[in-house]
Amino acid sequence: MNAVFDFNTATRQDARPVRNRVRGVVNPAEAFREFLLSKGLHPGGSVAPTGDRVQRCPADGDKPGRTSGWYVFYVDDLPAGEAGDWRTGESWTWCAKEKDSLSFEESKIAQAHLERARRMREQERARLAAEAAARAEKEWTRAVRCGAHPYLSQKDVSAYGLKMAAGKLLVPVMDSAGALRSLQFIDADGNKKFLFGGAIAGCFHRIPGTDDVVAVAEGYATAASIHRATGWTVLTAFNAGNLLPVARAWRDVHPGCRLVICGDDDRWTSTGNVGRAKAEACAKEVGGVALFPSFAADEGRPTDWNDLHQREGLEEVKRQLLAGAEQRRRDIRSWGLDRFAGKAPERRWLVENIMPCGAVFVLAAMGDAGKGLLTLDLGLKVAGKVALRENGGDDAQDFNPDLAAFGNRILRQGPVAVISAEDSADEVHRRLQSIGVGRAREMYVLPLPNAGGPLPVIVPGKHGPELSADWLELRAQLVELRPALIVIDPLASFVMADINADPAVGAFTMGHMAQLAQETDAAVVLVHHLAKSKANVATPEEARALIRGTSAIVDNARAAYVLWNVEEKAGRTACAALGVDWARNRVMKGCLVKSNGPGDREIKTWIRNEAGLLEVRNEQLRSAARERTPALLDSLAAACAEAAQRGQPFTKTGANGLFTRRQELPAELRSLARHPLETYAQRLLEAKRLVLCIAKGSTSKKWLDVPDGDFALGMGQFATGATEDKENDS
């Protein structure tokens, strides 16, 4: 007899099968310990709840005493935990129940455990990274300059920015702000390791070079081969997974940079071509191009650009890279509005509202104006912070907020490079001594007459102006220095073409200088000359028109400043106000004549001090004027009263005006220009210390007298020869 099927007790056919998903119900701690062991971590004989801390433990591959493993473990409400390996960056989560069997409340508990573990993990990671950075600074300081090393010989590359200690190469691991975060150690056999806990993500080693292309590569030897073949700036990311974080970090600081991701072609591995996949994904995200070496033969399973270098030579490396980079020189699709999302970076100044950071600044004046001494003084002030830091001071305390240049505050300090085409070492020495060098600073002055002679930046090429090889070599040093200020003095001496007449040469030169400014984040000051001098300049526009050469020079600069000579009388007046002796070429005017954005366009008075250095004296002149004003007003009122009393009153302006007849005024008033003299008269009128009077037979109220004077009372008589009948005088 067949069994009867009971629908009342049968299992639903659409129900999910019931499984026991609870793990370690009897002993969660032992279950979690087994999980740790399965991941290569060794917590010891037992595991206890960790609370609000991260527990360290040895991991597979650790040397005795090393604890690269870590875990957190909770037993309250729902047993759960997280673990990982600091050395590899891997991490894993564990729960006593499988994820798809958790109730809603259990899911919330598990999520809270994971969030708590994440916070503790990040705190511990930050602590370890800080310890590693401090240790890196100490070890880097103790290390020695890199000489010959077996690894370098084996790879046929040079040491770019490396040091040595205990027979190992030290590769600095830097963040995008230039801070040392860790070290990579490479021994003679090519074995590599990093400082425990040191930050790697987004950090890199930079080999400085030209900035038309910046390459990102995995390992140091690969990066060195690429740089040696192309001259590019190359960033070592240390592993394939770090290519994208490094490229992002560089792109954030240099948004206009052209990136080439030089990947490893890991085609021989059984786990997939990680090098190619990571490089291609990186290039796609940052708008770059991914390039991989192509080999003539596959013997030995080559993968990277150093392999190509050793097998087929640097010329082949160069050929492949240059050809590949040209494929996407400018990719317009990589410049969508997403590149400009978020808050725009704030404008940064080297000299507040005058000289921007990361931009080209033209300083123009006539010969013998003192531009060289002025830029040396600026350099000494900008370089001050570096020396104080080297002497053990705190940066924030060392910064002197009272430092000023061009009459405004200096807001940034750092290394300085001055390249002088005209001044000899002796002349530079004399100038530095005259203004006082003070404490040693990280400032470099390259006097070309003593340092190899002329150094052309721009030379004629087959298809137009191009950069010289000598300049590219020096430029790489400037990029490595990362100065706050670069001075090129004078611009015309560095361009072996007619920059003053040829707009194409001007545009090419200024475009290259703008690239240098962006690459170094420095203010690049180009010292230039005026085509002519004009003493009666009244506006910034008139001053701008004095700059020599094609308009491309000023048009392609971010900012430009002009200094010009003043008329003798104005110079004497300024000197007298400050109690200094007048001399020719001692007093000048200057102002910002071009600024792409905000800027201080006030025309300022510069007076040369005893050392020959021009200094802005506007505040002192204003102060002196304020101090002298009461006495000058008294003198003018008395002079007007006396003139009216003798029957020869002044008018404010015109043929009988104060300025026209200034020779009749006291000496302290005769030196005043028209505007201040007439302004003082107006102030006396407003204060009713002077009044405007009408002469007999006239309808024009114009003659100046004191309120109780004869002309004010209607009794004034013009003396013989007075000009009472000149009604057109105003």
Q: Which of 70-74, 87-91, 571-575, 652-656 has the lowest mean pLDDT?
A: 87-91
172 CB-near residues (< 8 Å, 6+ apart): 136, 140, 161, 162, 163, 180, 183, 205
Mean per-residue pLDDT over the chain, rounded: 85
The single-letter code of the amino acid at 410 is I
- Strands 523-529 and 485-489 turn out to be parallel
* 532-559 mean pLDDT: 84
C-alpha closest to that of 183 among 169, 174, 191, 194: 194
pLDDT of 387 over the 60 cut: no
* 386-407 mean pLDDT: 55
Q: What local confidence, expressed as pLDDT, does residue 699 receive? A: 80
Q: What local confidence, expressed as pLDDT, does residue 329 receive? A: 54
- Burial category of 356 from C-beta neighbours within 10 Å (exposed 0-12, middle 13-18, buried 19 and up): buried
Partners of 527 in the β-ladder: 363
Q: Which of 283-292, 396-405, 507-516, 601-610 has the lowest mean pLDDT?
A: 396-405
Tens of pLDDT, residue by residue over 441-470, are: 689 999 999 998 999 998 887 777 888 888
- Split at pLDDT 50, 70, 90, the class of 174 is very high
pLDDT of 728 over the 70 cut: no
Residue 577 to residues 56, 605, 608, Cα–Cα distance (Å): 74, 12, 14
Between residues 1 and 451, the one the model is more confident about: 451
Do 121 and 114 form a contact (C-beta atoms < 8 A)? no
- Split at pLDDT 50, 70, 90, the class of 345 is confident
Cα(641)–Cα(429) distance, integer angstroms: 58
Cα(671)–Cα(245) distance, integer angstroms: 67
* 179-192 mean pLDDT: 94
- Burial category of 624 from C-beta neighbours within 10 Å (exposed 0-12, middle 13-18, buried 19 and up): middle
496 CB-near residues (< 8 Å, 6+ apart): 456, 458, 459, 460, 468
- Split at pLDDT 50, 70, 90, the class of 328 is low
Tokens describing residue 393: 């001071």
Q: What local confidence, expressed as pLDDT, does residue 652 receive? A: 95
Domains of the chain: 28-127 (no CATH), 143-337 (no CATH), 349-616 (3.40.50.300), 622-705 (no CATH)
Tens of pLDDT, residue by residue over 475-512, are: 888 887 889 999 999 999 999 888 878 888 888 899 88
pLDDT of 595 over the 90 cut: yes
Cα(619)–Cα(572) distance, integer angstroms: 17
Q: What local confidence, expressed as pLDDT, does residue 344 receive? A: 84
The helix/strand/coil state of 594 is strand
Q: Which of 524-538, 543-557, 677-691 has the lowest mean pLDDT?
A: 524-538
Q: What local confidence, expressed as pLDDT, does residue 419 receive? A: 97
Tens of pLDDT, residue by residue over 143-165, are: 998 889 999 999 999 999 999 99
* 420-426 mean pLDDT: 94
Q: What local confidence, expressed as pLDDT, does residue 327 receive? A: 62
Residue 8 to residues 17, 74, 228, Cα–Cα distance (Å): 18, 43, 82
pLDDT of 536 over the 90 cut: no
Q: What local confidence, expressed as pLDDT, does residue 391 receive? A: 40
Tens of pLDDT, residue by residue over 34-89, are: 999 999 999 988 899 888 788 889 998 877 888 888 899 988 778 888 898 877 77
* 579-605 mean pLDDT: 92
- Split at pLDDT 50, 70, 90, the class of 433 is confident
Q: What local confidence, expressed as pLDDT, does residue 74 receive? A: 86
* 332-341 mean pLDDT: 73
Q: Which of 18-27, 109-118, 717-726 has the lowest mean pLDDT?
A: 18-27
pLDDT of 397 over the 50 cut: no
- Strands 259-262 and 349-351 turn out to be unpaired
pLDDT of 23 over the 50 cut: no
Q: 574-601 in b/e burial notation, b at 16+ Cβ within 10 A?
A: bbbbeebeeeeebbbbbbbbbbeeebee
- Split at pLDDT 50, 70, 90, the class of 334 is low
* 197-201 mean pLDDT: 87
Tens of pLDDT, residue by residue over 235-284, are: 999 999 899 999 999 988 887 788 999 999 988 887 788 899 999 999 88
Instruction: Report percent pLDDT > 70 for the chain.
Output: 90
Cα(158)–Cα(309) distance, integer angstroms: 13
Between residues 185 and 503, the one the model is more confident about: 185
Q: What local confidence, expressed as pLDDT, does residue 561 receive? A: 97
Which element (helix H / strand E) includes 174? strand 168-174
